[in-house]
């Protein structure tokens, strides 16, 4: 296999209780020729397929699982522009200009994702949300104020909220928060399938389950070998394989962590449906979102290892830890877990994704939409890959390109 093999999630993710298996996927029966092969039919591959078919390209999508059953099934789908690394931390890492550009692009990507969903009429429970970023061991209350000033300086409006107001407005027990507007939440599996269906309507083909076992390329063509023995010849290939990173990119600066999440039963208090997205400037951190039917999703407790046996063995201690923290912040919530799952989670030190052409492999691109803003970065990946393949200038390419030796 040319990509890492992982158990991407374990347990019962909320979305797996109502997946729609109505996608017209096919099994591969012969050799094929196409413009672009996309490897991976998760949220990244689906958005890339939609963009490329919109650009008039002939697209084939391959997945070794059923589409959307990788990390896309495990995500909690907070669609935020607020990057894992706040500006106060990102500016020392990248410099002011690049850090500001990264944050602004993230903002544009959340907006363009929401607009694209509406333009295409994708029904995925898209919900406009406020977001609260709480102080924690990564950012003190004073640093939170500094973060607000930096955000406002580059046009990303946010406001400082004190303890009393947090309690009065949300029943939330926390010292301080930055409140921002225009984040979103959605049903990730429907979102992913919605984009894929649009690509299919425009003539794309999805083959599943089909694993890509080998790839080679020349300056004009890419040759893809599949697990069924059939080959595909294309002008371009795009890896959208999530945390199952292609071997060509295994030396890139990323790490695979373990993470845990849960969803409560529908809460009796219907006002909880209006909770904002909540996340902490802490390590380990906690994040919270409501669902339209009144559940509370909560996750975090990330650990810096990827061993799956160790990860799953920790489920019994991680879940109570999440419940305790949730109950401390929002004591009015029923914190019992109707759904609970663990998963792999890819991170980079900057919180930015890795996107661009694959070093040493002509005509091949990859989108590694890592970090807490994975889906926002999938959007960035789709827009960038369209620009790169269609020969357009891509102004933020330098922020996310793969490292060369
Ligand atoms: C618990 C949890 C919570 C999260 N919460 C959030 C959140 O709130 N907001 C957010 O933005 N992000 C969040 N994320 C991250 C988000 O889930 C990911 O960024 C996103 O799902 C990645 O999508 P993808 O399409 O890149 O990867 P995937 O969905 O994993 O899709 C990749 C596909 O590639 C296929 N594949 C791999 N190798 C091959 C091969 N050789 N041949 C054929 N097919 C192959 C796989 O089968 C898979 O279906 C969370 C993740 C987890 C685990």
Per-residue pLDDT of the chain (405 residues; tens, 9 = 90+): 799 999 999 999 999 887 666 789 999 999 999 999 999 999 999 999 999 999 999 999 999 999 999 999 999 999 999 999 999 999 999 999 999 999 999 999 999 999 999 999 999 999 999 999 999 999 999 999 999 999 999 999 999 999 999 999 999 999 999 999 999 999 999 999 999 999 999 999 999 999 999 999 999 999 999 998 999 999 999 999 999 999 999 999 999 999 999 999 999 999 999 999 999 999 999 999 999 999 999 999 999 988 999 998 898 999 999 999 999 999 999 999 999 999 999 999 999 999 999 999 999 999 999 999 999 999 999 999 999 999 999 999 999 999 987
What is the reported pLDDT for 21? 64
H or E element at residue 20: none
Distance 370 CA to ligand 1 centre (A): 9
C-alpha of residue 378 to centroid of ligand 1, in Å: 9
Tell me if 71 CB under 6 Å of ligand 1. yes
Position 24 in a domain: yes
- In this structure, are 262 and 320 located in the same domain? yes
261 and 333 together in one domain? yes
Q: How far apart are CA 64 and CA 66, in angstroms?
A: 7
**Would you say 244 and 3 are in contact if contact means Cβ atoms under 8 Å apart?**
yes
Q: How many domains are there within the chain? A: 2
How many residues are there in the chain? 405
Task: Give Dmax over CA atoms of the chain in angstroms.
Answer: 65
Same domain, 342 and 259: yes
Tell me: do 316 and 396 sit in the same domain: no
Same domain? 296 vs 313? yes
Residue 167 lies in a domain: yes
Q: What is the position in ligand 1's atom list of the atom closest to the CA of 2?
A: 41
Determine contact, residues 178/322, Cβ cutoff 8 Å: no
Give 283: exposed, middle or buried? Use CB within 10 Å, 0-12, 13-18, 19+: exposed
**What's the pLDDT at 195?**
98
How far is it, in rounded angstroms, from Cα 70 to Cα 261?
15
CATH number at residue 138: 3.30.9.10
Report if pTM > 0.95: yes
pLDDT of residue 306: 86
Beta strands in 26-157 (DSSP E): 32-39, 59-62, 78-79, 127-134
Residue that finishes a domain, picked among 317, 332, 347: 347
- 118 burial class (0-12, 13-18, 19+ CB within 10 angstroms)? exposed
**Residue 70 CA to ligand 1 centre (angstroms):** 5
Which stretches of 129-281 are DSSP H helices? 141-153, 163-170, 188-201
Task: Give a yes or no: residue 103 inside a domain.
Answer: no
CATH of the domain at 67: 3.50.50.60
For the Cβ of 242 lying below 6 angstroms from any atom of ligand 1, the answer is: yes
C-beta 277 within 6 A of ligand 1: no
Residue 314 lies in a domain: yes
Whether residue 167 is found in the same domain as residue 59 = no
Secondary structure of residue 160 in the 3-state scheme: strand
pLDDT at 19: 64
35/46 same-domain check: yes
Closest by Cα among 153, 160, 154, 150 to 180 = 160
- Say if residue 140 is in the same domain as residue 70: no
CA distances from 17 to 12, 13, 189, 315, 341 (A): 8, 8, 11, 20, 12
Ligand 1 touching residue 42 (CB < 6 A): yes
Instruction: Give the bridge partners for 345, in sequence order.
Output: 257
The single residue listed with the structure tokens 């906690």 is 286
Residue 119 lies in a domain: no
Residue 268 structural domain: 130-182+253-347
Please report whether residue 283 resides in a domain.
yes
Q: Is residue 170 part of a domain?
A: yes
Residue 388 Cα to ligand 1 middle (Å): 22
CA of 400 to the centre of ligand 1 (A): 18
315 and 173, same domain (yes or no)? yes
Distance CA 368, CA 359 (A): 14
E-assigned strand segments in 313-395: 339-347, 354-357, 364-368
| 72 pocket-lining for ligand 1 (C-beta < 6 Å) | yes
Residue 196 Cβ inside 6 Å of ligand 1? The answer reads no
- What are the percentages of helix, strand and coil residues in the chain, rounded to 5? 35, 30, 40
Q: How far is the CA of 345 from the centre of ligand 1 (A)?
A: 8
Q: Cβ neighbours of residue 313 under 8 Å, at least 6 residues apart?
A: none
Residue that is last in its domain, among 322, 347, 372: 347
Ligand 1: centre distance to CA 71 (Å): 3
Q: Is the CB of 348 under 6 A from ligand 1?
A: no
Beta carbon of 343 within 6 Å of any ligand 1 atom: yes
Confirm or reject: Cβ of 396 under 6 Å from ligand 1.
Answer: no
Q: Is residue 58 domain-shared with residue 137, that is, in the same domain?
A: no
Residues 273 and 215 both lie in one domain: no
Cβ of residue 88 lying under 6 Å from some atom of ligand 1: no
Q: Does 322 lie in the same domain as 197?
A: no
């Amino acid at each position: 296999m040319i990509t890492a093999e992982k158990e991407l999630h374990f347990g019962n993710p909320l979305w797996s209780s109502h997946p729609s298996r109505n996608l017209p996927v096919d099994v591969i029966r012969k050799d094929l020729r196409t413009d672009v092969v996309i490897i991976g039919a998760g949220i990244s591959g689906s958005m890339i397929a939609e963009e490329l078919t919109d650009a008039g390209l002939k697209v084939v999508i391959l997945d070794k699982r059923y589409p959307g059953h990788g990390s896309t099934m495990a995500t909690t789908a907070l669609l935020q522009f607020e990057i894992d690394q706040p500006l106060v931390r990102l500016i020392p890492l990248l410099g002011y200009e690049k850090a500001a550009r990264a944050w602004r692009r993230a903002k544009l990507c959340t907006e363009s994702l929401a607009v694209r969903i509406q333009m295409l009429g994708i029904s995925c429970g898209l919900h406009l949300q406020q977001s609260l970023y709480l102080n924690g061991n990564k950012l003190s209350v004073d640093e939170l104020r500094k973060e607000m000033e930096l955000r406002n300086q580059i046009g990303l409006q946010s406001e400082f909220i004190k303890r009393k107001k947090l309690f009065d407005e949300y029943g939330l027990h926390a010292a301080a928060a930055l409140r921002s507007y225009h984040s979103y939440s959605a049903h990730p599996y429907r979102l992913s399938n919605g984009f894929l269906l649009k690509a299919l309507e425009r003539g794309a083909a999805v083959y599943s389950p089909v694993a890509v076992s080998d790839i080679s390329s020349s300056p004009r063509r890419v040759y893809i070998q599949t697990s069924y023995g059939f080959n595909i010849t294309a002008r371009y290939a795009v890896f959208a394989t999530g945390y199952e990173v292609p071997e060509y990119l295994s030396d890139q600066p990323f790490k695979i962590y373990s993470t845990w999440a849960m969803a409560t039963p529908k809460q009796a208090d219907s006002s909880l449906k209006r909770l904002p997205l909540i996340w902490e400037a802490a390590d380990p951190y906690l994040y919270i979102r409501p669902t339209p039917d009144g559940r509370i999703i909560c996750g975090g407790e990330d650990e810096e290892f990827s061993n799956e046996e160790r990860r799953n063995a920790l489920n019994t201690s991680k879940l109570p830890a999440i419940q305790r923290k949730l109950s401390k912040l929002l004591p009015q919530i029923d914190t019992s877990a109707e759904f609970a799952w663990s998963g792999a989670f890819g991170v980079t030190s900057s919180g930015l994704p890795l996107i661009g052409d694959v070093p040493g492999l002509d005509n091949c691109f990859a989108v590694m939409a890592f970090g807490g803003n994975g889906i926002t970065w999938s959007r960035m990946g789709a827009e960038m890959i369209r620009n790169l393949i269609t020969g357009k200038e891509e102004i933020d390419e330098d922020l996310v390109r793969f490292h060369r030796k």
